[in-house]
Amino acid sequence: MSTLRAENVGIVAIDVYFPSRYVDQTELEQHDGVSAGKYTIGLGQSKMAFCDDREDISSVSMTAVQSFMEKYNISYSDIGRLEVGTETIIDKSKSTKTVLMKLFEESGNFSVEGIDTTNACYGGTSALFNACQWVDSSAWDGRLALVVAGDIAVYGKGAARPSGGVGAACILVGPNAPLALEFPLRGTFMEHTYDFYKPNMSSEFPTVDGPLSVSSYVRAVDHAYSAYLDKLEKIAGIANPSLDDLDYVVFHSPYTKQVVKGFARMAYNDFLRNPEAKTFAEVQQFKDLLREESYGNKVLEKAFINVSKSQFTSKTESSLLAARNIGNMYTGSVFFGLASLLSQTPFDRLNGKRIALFSYGSGCAASTYSFRVRADISSIARTIDLAARLEERIKVSPADFEKIMELREKTHNEQEYEPTGNIEELKPGTYYLQKIDSKWRRAYGRIPLN
């Protein structure tokens, strides 16, 4: 019996998919009649991707996977596990993973483990952990794993709608990876909270407690980051670990202003561990404040945003390109952040560096974990080609965007339905919904590559 044992398990390759159309957030502010800067400064968003009735989570995932396999010239026969993280549910029983098996038919490979994982925006991280742990285990059969993390984030008309977005990341997991997962270095926090959830099965829209969602995110940063630092100290042998020991930090981004606050919160946790550090000379007034008293304290929040500003710029800013210009992809968000960082940062500034990720899903589930860059990722950056692809999109007016959102709301869960969206605006290689029959079975087509 073979005793395979993988080394340096992690991300071998990554790519992302997002729709061809977007709405400009400045124009959306004007259309919605809100104050200038409410979406662009208050949320930190510039553009928002969206899709009409021609795309659903299955088509988005198929586009992401098929495009990935073609770009990296990977055979479906080489895949032994496929994990999907999503909270966009179009069937309460049949998984998105099983729909993706359609792409495997020509290869004849039907022996593919894994299934969907769901918990708000955390499902993609759980899927990644599952894939990495499979490759690292005695159950591994020597093949590679695929992880798909993606969602269609839509909200009802109102204050939450500008924090939507659409996208899916496709990740190849295997041994000898250029982005090796630092296995023991992981801090996880989970608790029961109703900050964001989707109890209404007849609607795409979530039920959201905005203030609770913000405080839950911050609380999760506190606990997951602190637990991660404990691992750095006990396992990696780093004395007084802090942000100084993380070269880059990538966050789940519901909107980019929340990431700024999340990074500042990590700095606050560093302060609690080592308040006498020179970095914190200007915030000594908070030394005797209990952690539980700090939640919702805007003075403290602003102080630590200012204290951590230079570190934020060097460690996190470059990871926000996708979040700022696409929006929230729920499970895919943190991986779009990673893709942004890889595509925006020259390899000589990444080589040998530690990249930490903070993943958060409402409800709630959160983890802080890290990768070490151990090989050249320049070809991955060229494949992602994020900045150029963002520029190729089609801008849609807020009025037309609103009509498309109304169409999605009206036709959600329809049967015997043929979508009306214009497929000519879809890019080559995009999968799209052709029809839904009387038994809610969905048929898909693909825009030809040429």
Dihedral of alpha carbons 214, 215, 219, 222, sign: positive
Residues 6+ apart with CB under 8 A from 256: 43, 44, 45, 320, 323, 324
- 304 token code pair: 């630590």
Catalytic residue among 121, 132, 170, 364: 121
Catalytic residue among 29, 83, 87, 182: 87
Classify strands 21-24 and 10-17 as parallel, antiparallel or unpaired.
unpaired
Distances from the Cα of 79 to the Cαs of 23, 135, 251, 281, in angstroms? 37, 11, 28, 53
The number of helices, as runs of H, and strands, as runs of E, in the chain is: 14, 16
Cβ atoms of 84 and 95 within 8 Å: the answer is yes
Residue 232's closest CA among 264, 186, 270? 186
Q: What is the dihedral of CA 64, 66, 69, 72, to 10 degrees?
A: -60
Classify strands 21-24 and 47-49 as parallel, antiparallel or unpaired.
antiparallel
User: Amino acid identity of 61?
Assistant: S
| Helices 256-273 and 298-307, packing angle to 10 deg | 90
The CA distance from 278 to 271, in Å, is 10
Cβ atoms of 325 and 390 within 8 Å: the answer is yes
The CA distance from 84 to 62, in Å, is 11
252 tagged catalytic: yes
The CA distance from 68 to 70, in Å, is 5
The CA distance from 317 to 313, in Å, is 5
The CA distance from 37 to 69, in Å, is 40
Strands (E), 230-326: 248-251
- 309 token code pair: 């500003």
Residues 6+ apart with CB under 8 A from 290: none
CB atoms under 10 Å from CB of 12, counted, come to 21
Task: Name the residues annotated as catalytic.
Answer: 87, 121, 252
